[in-house]
Chains A and B, each alone.
Chain A
């Protein structure tokens, strides 16, 4: 499969075991050169090594998306190494996203900590990547949102607020960047990931409850379920899909 041959992708939060890594591996398997970023270089390198072992091209970079200068440097390094940037996948999220807390327990300082990654990080990345996505002629920007950003969350209001804000940003950028042939979409996945695992361990029975509510009766896989959709969305096959929130959740949410 070479749907993305010649394309260059940049993925944040790609050092764990979930969506970022799975998306990176699938993008590379589809022919894209992938810049794998994570806060810890060893984690990013692990994913990059896995790509290389499968015959793909990858560059690992340490990146804290809340650091504007670091974001700009990483995007510049991408273009210097590969000559272009066509695909930006913003997956990085605050480590406390899976925590269950009440509104009262969630301080403004905590909201700032979350927002530095989820919101400010998305802003810095999109702004830094824009000229390159525009130059691509077929740019793709994908944000990860969440069902919680749509339905709200009784477990983590701050996380839900920021995932909602990402949807607003995504829809506006889609309208603004369409003239440059850049598509902008948000994905709401139900997938296993490091934070999800932490959440399930802290909340026994929740996994079974969620899986029972999903028509497919299982959580998604970061690579085969989510990564595959990312590849399709970033390919020429999906150049007319923009401004959407796509649920990749085994049919868990069907209210729209």
Chain B
């Protein structure tokens, strides 16, 4: 596995998963994907969450630069990464899993950048899956429990559950569960899972 991404969540997940990280905010996404081909990785994990989006603040206080760095730029980096994947992999590309925080599915008070960029990336993932799936590309999205994805958001105004006992499993999602899910998605037998959004949150949100 290789992690491509930006921001603290990418670095943290790479470390937790014991996978190498290429920072595509610093290095060209084309070079990052070339490195993936050289290594012959069995899965690419893309985590395009900028640090800018992880600082809770009122929407009206956001600057133009914060909006650009928090939303526009990460979407552009993901598009560049898709271009590189398309160009580099002529056959047998590895599955690519995109990841974001589960809160983005619901939105969150003070975290409009984070929800906007994650939902934008998720829609881009689906679109790319629709277009590139016939060439063997298999793209999916994992919405990771927000505090596992970004523990720095502890204390932020995250969406509150209306259920007194919100976690179906009784405990929060952990890195071992994330690794298990990634292993499942890396398996060629999972090729029918494409363009989907999988929520790893201990069974709290349960999408409609």
Contacts and interface: CB of A to CB of B under 8 A. Distances in A.
Interface of A: 68, 102-104, 106, 108, 111-112, 115, 119-120, 123, 126-127, 130-131, 148-154, 156-158, 160-177, 243, 256
B19 to A, nearest CB: 25
A108 B28 CA distance: 13
Nearest to A109: B76
Contacts of B118: 168
A90 to B, nearest CB: 13
B130 A161 contact: no
Given A152-B124, A169-B119, A173-B107, 20 more contacts: A68-B64, A103-B128, A112-B76, A115-B72, A119-B120, A120-B67, A127-B59, A149-B119, A152-B129, A157-B127, A160-B127, A161-B123, A167-B123, A168-B114, A171-B115, A172-B115, A173-B112, A175-B109, A176-B58, A176-B59
A158 B112 CA distance: 20
5 contacts: A103-B82, A151-B126, A164-B124, A174-B107, A175-B107
B79 interface: yes
Contact of A165 (B82, B120, B125, B128): B120
Q: Is the interface of A mostly helix, strand, loop or mixed?
A: helix
Q: Which of under 10, 10 to 19, 20 to 34, or 35 or more describes the interface residues of B?
A: 35 or more
A115 B116 CA distance: 12
Q: Is the interface of B mostly helix, strand, loop or mixed?
A: helix
B80 interface: yes
A172 B116 contact: yes
Contact of B71 (A119, A126, A150, A154): A119
A256 B208 contact: yes
B79 A168 contact: no
A126 B208 CA distance: 29
Contact of A127 (B60, B117, B119): B60
Contacts of B131: 102-103, 154, 157
B101 to A, nearest CB: 11
